[in-house]
Structure 1
Amino acid sequence: MTPSGLQQVSTQVLSQSQVLALVSELATPESRPAINAGTGIRFFYRFNDKQWLIQQDEDPSLTRILIRRWVDRDATGTPTAGADGTTIRSRATDTPSGPFTSEDEARAALEKLLRIQVSRGAADLHLRVGEPPIFRLGGDLLRLENHVPLTNEMVGSMMRAVMPEKNRAEFDEQWDTDFAHEIEGVSRFRVNVLRDRHGTAAVIRTIATTTVTVEDMGISPEVQALCHLTKGLVLVTGPTGSGKSTTLCALVDYINRTRSDHIITIEDPIEFVHQSKKCLITQRQVGAHTQSFKSALRAALREDPDIILVGELRDLETIAIALETAETGHLVFGTLHTSTAASTINRIVDQFPADRQDQIRIMLAESLKGVISQTLCKKVGGGRVAAREILLVNKAVSTLIREGKTVQIPNIIQTQKKLGMETLNDALLGLVKSKTIEPEEAYVKAVEKKDMSSRLRLLGHNIDAVAGEE
Structure 2
Amino acid sequence: MDIATFTQILQIAFEKKVSDIHFEVDNPPIFRARGHLIRSKLSNLTKKDTEFIASTVLEQHKRELPEDLKEFDASYTVADVGRFRVSIFRQRGNIGLVMRVIPHHIGTFEELNLPVVLGDVTKAPNGLILVCGPTGNGKSTTLASMIRHINDNFNYSVITIEDPIEFIFHSNRSCIIQREVGIDTEGFGGALKAAMRMDPDVIMVGEMRDLDTVDACIKAAETGHLVLSTLHTHNAASTIGRMVGFFPSQVQENIRHRLAEVLVATVSLRLVRGKSGEIVVPAMEIMHATSTIKSCIRDGHLDDIEQYIEKGRDEYHMQTLDQHLIQLCRQDVISLEEAKRISRSTDLERKLIYS
TM-score range (shorter-chain normalised) is over 0.9
Q: Map 1:367-378 to 2 at 5 A.
A: 367-378=262-273
Give the whole-Å Cα distance in 2 for the aligned partners of 1:428 and 1:434.
10
Aligned to 1:403: 299
Question: C-alpha displacement at 1:164, in angstroms?
Answer: 3.6
Are the counterparts in 2 of residues 170 and 176 from structure 1 also a CA contact under 8 Å?
A: no
> Given the superposition, is the C-alpha separation of residues 385 and 297 from structure 1 closer, same or farther in structure 2, using an over 3 Å criterion?
same
Are the counterparts in 1 of residues 114 and 282 from structure 2 also a CA contact under 8 Å?
A: no
The reply to whether residue 272 of structure 1 matches residue 175 of structure 2 is no
Give the whole-Å Cα distance in 2 for the aligned partners of 1:356 and 1:401.
14
Are the counterparts in 2 of residues 232 and 327 from structure 1 also a CA contact under 8 Å?
A: yes
For residue 422 of structure 1, what is the amino acid of its counterpart?
A: Q
For residue 26 of structure 2, give the secondary structure of its aligned residue in structure 1. Answer: coil
Question: C-alpha displacement at 1:166, in angstroms?
Answer: 5.8
The reply to whether residue 111 of structure 1 matches residue 7 of structure 2 is yes
Give the whole-Å Cα distance in 1 for the aligned partners of 2:247 and 2:343.
29
Question: C-alpha displacement at 1:223, in angstroms?
Answer: 2.1
Count of matched residue positions in the alignment of Structure 1 and Structure 2: 352
> Given the superposition, is the C-alpha separation of residues 136 and 345 from structure 1 closer, same or farther in structure 2, using an over 3 Å criterion?
same
Task: Decide which of 233, 242, 260 is 1:347's aligned counterpart.
Answer: 242
> Given the superposition, is the C-alpha separation of residues 309 and 192 from structure 1 closer, same or farther in structure 2, using an over 3 Å criterion?
same
Give the whole-Å Cα distance in 2 for the aligned partners of 1:186 and 1:166.
18
For residue 27 of structure 2, what is the amino acid of its counterpart?
A: E
The reply to whether residue 193 of structure 1 matches residue 88 of structure 2 is yes
Aligned to 1:10: none
For residue 130 of structure 2, give the secondary structure of its aligned residue in structure 1. Answer: strand
The reply to whether residue 421 of structure 1 matches residue 297 of structure 2 is no
Aligned to 2:275: 380
Task: Decide which of 108, 130, 142 is 1:247's aligned counterpart.
Answer: 142
Give the whole-Å Cα distance in 2 for the aligned partners of 1:300 and 1:447.
38
For residue 296 of structure 2, what is the amino acid of its counterpart?
A: L
> Given the superposition, is the C-alpha separation of residues 280 and 400 from structure 1 closer, same or farther in structure 2, using an over 3 Å criterion?
same
Give the whole-Å Cα distance in 2 for the aligned partners of 1:326 and 1:283.
19
Are the counterparts in 1 of residues 11 and 81 from structure 2 also a CA contact under 8 Å?
A: yes
Question: C-alpha displacement at 1:172, in angstroms?
Answer: 4.1
Are the counterparts in 2 of residues 128 and 200 from structure 1 also a CA contact under 8 Å?
A: yes
Deviation digits for residues 45-87 of structure 1, max 9, x if unmatched?
A: xxxxxxxxxxxxxxxxxxxxxxxxxxxxxxxxxxxxxxxxxxx
For residue 361 of structure 1, what is the amino acid of its counterpart?
A: R
Give the whole-Å Cα distance in 2 for the aligned partners of 1:170 and 1:444.
41
Are the counterparts in 2 of residues 424 and 446 from structure 1 also a CA contact under 8 Å?
A: yes
TM-score, structure 2 normalization: 0.95
Task: Decide which of 269, 282, 288 is 2:177's aligned counterpart.
Answer: 282
Aligned to 1:260: 155
> Given the superposition, is the C-alpha separation of residues 171 and 281 from structure 1 closer, same or farther in structure 2, using an over 3 Å criterion?
farther
Are the counterparts in 2 of residues 167 and 179 from structure 1 also a CA contact under 8 Å?
A: no
TM-score, structure 1 normalization: 0.73
Give the whole-Å Cα distance in 1 for the aligned partners of 2:200 and 2:154.
13
> Given the superposition, is the C-alpha separation of residues 290 and 353 from structure 1 closer, same or farther in structure 2, using an over 3 Å criterion?
same
Q: Map 1:176-255 to 2 at 5 A.
A: 176-197=71-92, 199-255=94-150
Q: Map 1:294-313 to 2 at 5 A.
A: 294-313=189-208
For residue 228 of structure 1, give the secondary structure of its aligned residue in structure 2. Answer: coil
Task: Decide which of 203, 207, 224 is 1:329's aligned counterpart.
Answer: 224
Give the whole-Å Cα distance in 1 for the aligned partners of 2:338 and 2:285.
16
Segments of structure 1 that go 5 or more residues without pairing to the other structure are 1-99, 101-105, 460-470
Give the whole-Å Cα distance in 1 for the aligned partners of 2:61 and 2:250.
39
Give the whole-Å Cα distance in 2 for the aligned partners of 1:297 and 1:358.
24
Question: C-alpha displacement at 1:150, in angstroms?
Answer: 0.7
Question: C-alpha displacement at 1:219, in angstroms?
Answer: 2.9
Task: Decide which of 377, 394, 397 is 2:290's aligned counterpart.
Answer: 394
For residue 413 of structure 1, what is the amino acid of its counterpart?
A: I
Q: Map 1:144-183 to 2 at 5 A.
A: 144-145=40-41, 147-164=42-59, 168=63, 172-183=67-78
> Given the superposition, is the C-alpha separation of residues 364 and 171 from structure 1 closer, same or farther in structure 2, using an over 3 Å criterion?
farther
Aligned to 2:258: 363
Larger radius of gyration: 1
Are the counterparts in 1 of residues 272 and 342 from structure 2 also a CA contact under 8 Å?
A: yes
Question: C-alpha displacement at 1:205, in angstroms?
Answer: 1.1
Give the whole-Å Cα distance in 2 for the aligned partners of 1:181 and 1:300.
25
For residue 339 of structure 2, give the secondary structure of its aligned residue in structure 1. Answer: helix
Segments of structure 2 that go 5 or more residues without pairing to the other structure are none
Question: C-alpha displacement at 1:188, in angstroms?
Answer: 1.0
Q: What is the CA RMSD across the aligned residues, in angstroms?
A: 1.6
Structure with more contact order per residue of length (Cα contacts < 8 Å, sep ≥ 6)? 2
Aligned to 1:134: 30
For residue 84 of structure 2, give the secondary structure of its aligned residue in structure 1. Answer: strand
Give the whole-Å Cα distance in 2 for the aligned partners of 1:167 and 1:446.
45
Deviation digits for residues 324-362 of structure 1, max 9, x if unmatched?
A: 110110000010000011110011111111110011001
> Given the superposition, is the C-alpha separation of residues 165 and 272 from structure 1 closer, same or farther in structure 2, using an over 3 Å criterion?
closer
Question: C-alpha displacement at 1:218, in angstroms?
Answer: 3.0
Deviation digits for residues 276-303 of structure 1, max 9, x if unmatched?
A: 0011000001111000011101110001
The reply to whether residue 320 of structure 1 matches residue 202 of structure 2 is no
